């Protein structure tokens, strides 16, 4: 994973989908090929914009909460979720952004439902969940 936050508050997290680790090698391989299709869609991106001026004049430990749009870019599709975020100034060069409530990500929103069905069939399972909660704690260090 890599991430950046710009001076104007655009926060981005990029996830290399080939790095997904389930501790079962065959499951990792199947998720990469059958679900995420990492050959064509190698990365997922989560992004939002926070108001950095809210922290500019605050002391270390300053904190504020907002409901803000968070965009997930996955498998060539984007979806935006209104999400409660907490933004904290941990030091003069460190900002933390936390999703306070989970976003519920639906596989069908990203065209992943077909891949989930393929995984279900090959694994011989009666079902696989088609939605997952997404939360994050992002720590950005100024360089």
Q: Where are the domains of the chain?
A: 2-141
pLDDT at 70 over 90: yes
**Average pLDDT of the segment spanning 42-64:** 89
pTM of the model: 0.89
Pick the CATH number of 2-141 from 1.10.240.10, 3.30.1300.10, 2.40.50.140, 2.40.128.110: 2.40.128.110
Q: Can you tell me whether residue 42 is helix, strand or coil? A: coil
Residue 13 burial (10 A CB sphere; 0-12, 13-18, 19+): buried
CA distance 64 to 44: 27
Chain mean pLDDT for the chain: 93
SS (H, E, C) 46-71: EEEECCCHHHHCCCCCCEEEEEEEEE
């Amino acid at each position: 994973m890599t991430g950046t936050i710009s001076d104007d508050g655009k926060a981005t997290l990029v996830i290399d989908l080939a790095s997904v680790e389930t501790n079962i090698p065959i499951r990792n391989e199947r998720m990469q090929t059958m679900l995420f299709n990492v050959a064509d869609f190698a990365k997922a991106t989560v992004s939002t914009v926070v108001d950095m001026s809210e922290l500019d004049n605050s002391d270390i430990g300053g904190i504020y909460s907002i409901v803000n749009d968070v965009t997930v870019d996955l498998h060539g599709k984007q979806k935006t979720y209104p999400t409660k975020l907490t933004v904290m100034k941990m030091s003069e060069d460190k900002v933390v952004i936390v999703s306070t409530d989970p976003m519920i990500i639906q596989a069908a929103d990203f065209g992943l439902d077909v891949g989930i069905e393929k995984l279900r069939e090959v694994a011989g399972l009666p079902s696989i969940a088609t939605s997952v909660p997404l939360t994050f704690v992002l720590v950005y260090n100024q360089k």
